[in-house]
Amino acid sequence: MKTTVRDSAEAGLAARAACPPVEHAALDLPADRPDPVAVLERQAVSRVPELVPVRHGRMLASPFAYFRGAAAMMAHDLAATPDSGLRTQLCGDAHLCNFGMFASPERRLVFDLNDFDETYPGPWEWDVKRLAASLEIAARSNDFGHKHRRAIQLATVRAYQQAMNSFAGMHELDLWYARADVEDIKDMLRDQLKKSRRKAAFDKTVAKARSRDSQRSMAKLTELVGAHRRITADPPLVVPVQDLLPDGEQDTFVAAMRGMLGQYRSTLQSDRRRLLDQFVFADLARKVVGVGSVGTRCWIVLMFGRDSQDPLFLQVKEAQRSVIAEYGGVRAGRMDTGCQGRRVVDGQRLMQTVSDIFLGWATVDGIDGQQRDFYARQLADWKGSVAIEEMVPSGMTAYGRLCGWTLARAHARSGDRVALSAYLGEDATFAHAIAEFAEAYAEQNERDYDAMRAALRSGRITAEPDHR
């Protein structure tokens, strides 16, 4: 029987009594907390060996870069924090750089969460705490004072709280259609950048996002080889399949990937299968992406439609087990035992207002002698983000509010929004608690970052410079 609004509100109030919001300030890490470098070393076992130093190099760029790659360490730490008992679908890695702009199927620029490699059902507080900690660490990197950092935290979490209270009163369809179109929020986004170049920089960011499509990817990533267009080698970031494998293995691997594309096709809507069928395979390359994802197997696939000026670039990315599942998510049926690519796609479709028309999944046998799961989407379709390092305090405050609203909408779609609203209430207790937590976790993150730097100096790990 469907839970009534009254039942949900009572459940939220009961959770608030059992785990008062003020308790979320706590960060009491266990004495046997794992060595953060050891956690990275365990993750490296399942990754492409020659790319692990690239991952380390990107993480060592700054405490914030380290934080971006340390989702597993934070998931372990969050498992020891207070828990309201309420669950939603989590992004699993809701730091501020995993929010941004991308194209809707209607070719409108929208703002939303845009990375779901770690998505999994779990305690809703975990996403809020990771977002808050990322803002605190980024604000420290920008040399913001304590007063400004605390204002950013309170604004972000209060925006989440107020949005959840608003969503709790919405009809189901109204909630489902709620979204942040960039045209509707452009004035607030302009406020993120330094005043002297605010409007020009924002307009340039939007224009750049709208230019990022398969045509731009073809111009940037390919070259003519004889009469054919091929993906250009740029090792170690982009390595075409012909440079990656011996001659005798290339055909076998390409055949396996073609089979994967056929399986992937079956996960698309029927109209989108029809669209995909208009394109033919042309080339394939391994591509390094992100920070935390570096070392997982990621491919770009070049396809052509009516002619050589009609490209489609797909990104095919390996999906491994979510760190949330490993450290404290709830059992989720198919998400536990099925294709990890489908886990990512299902979570993304549930949390995003709109998703890429080519979003789908597949499993490939025989890569490195193993069965591996993947998900696919268009490569960088109108994808854009702001420059965190150029934000001023008022801009990061505005950006935090937008991220807080966006995260609340995603949680409201997948969880019991009435219970969450009742738990949060209307006072600022939860926001102050999360601000305290974020400050404490930023300090822990700096210690973990220092431990990684020490591991590099001692020769325990190796790192390659960031080639981007």
DSSP string over 297-329: -EEEEEEESSSTT-EEEEEEEE----HHHHHT-
Half-sphere exposure of 218 (CA within 13 A, CB side): 17
What single-letter DSSP state applies at residue 233? P
Interatomic CA distance for residues 246 and 330, integer angstroms: 43
CA separation for the pair 369, 423 (Å, rounded): 48
Give, rounded to a whole angstrom, the gap between the first and last alpha carbons of the chain. Answer: 53
CA distance 389 to 378: 27
Number of CB atoms found within 10 A of residue 384's CB: 21
Cα–Cα distance, 92 to 327 (Å, whole number): 11
User: How confident is the model at residue 388, as a pLDDT?
Assistant: 87
Q: Residue 112, SS3?
A: strand
Report, in angstroms and rounded to the nearest whole number, the Rg of the chain calculated over CA atoms.
22
Residues 126 and 324: beta-carbon distance below 8 Å? yes
Beta strands, E only, 23-174: 87-90, 99-103, 109-113, 120-123
For residues 54 and 296, the answer to whether their CB atoms sit within 8 Å is no
Q: What per-residue confidence (pLDDT) applies to 256?
A: 85
- Is the CB of residue 257 less than 8 Å from the CB of residue 245? no
* Of 158, 84, 53, residue with least CA distance to 431: 158
- Do strands 311-318 and 370-378 pair parallel, antiparallel, or not at all (unpaired)? antiparallel
Note whether 55 and 72 are within 8 A (CB): no
What's the CA gap between 196 and 300, in Å, rounded?
Answer: 38
The per-residue pLDDT for 334 is 52
Exposed (0-12), middle (13-18) or buried (19+): which is 59, by Cβ within 10 Å? buried
Burial 320-330 (b: 16+ CB within 10 A, else e): bebbbbebbbe
- Give the separation between CA 276 and CA 422, rounded to whole angstroms: 45
Give the tens place of pLDDT for each residue, 113-128.
Answer: 999 999 999 999 999 9
Structure tokens at 287: 């591509």
pLDDT for position 200: 59
- pLDDT of 206 reads 64
DSSP 62: -
For the entire predicted model, the pTM comes to: 0.93
**Two tokens, residue 123:** 């305690």
Residue 237 has which token pair?
A: 């970031």
DSSP type of residue 217: H
Number of residues in the chain: 468
Question: Which phi and psi angles does 424 have, rounded to 5°?
Answer: -70, -35
Which pLDDT does position 215 carry in this prediction? 83
- Which residues does the chain have with pLDDT short of 50? 332
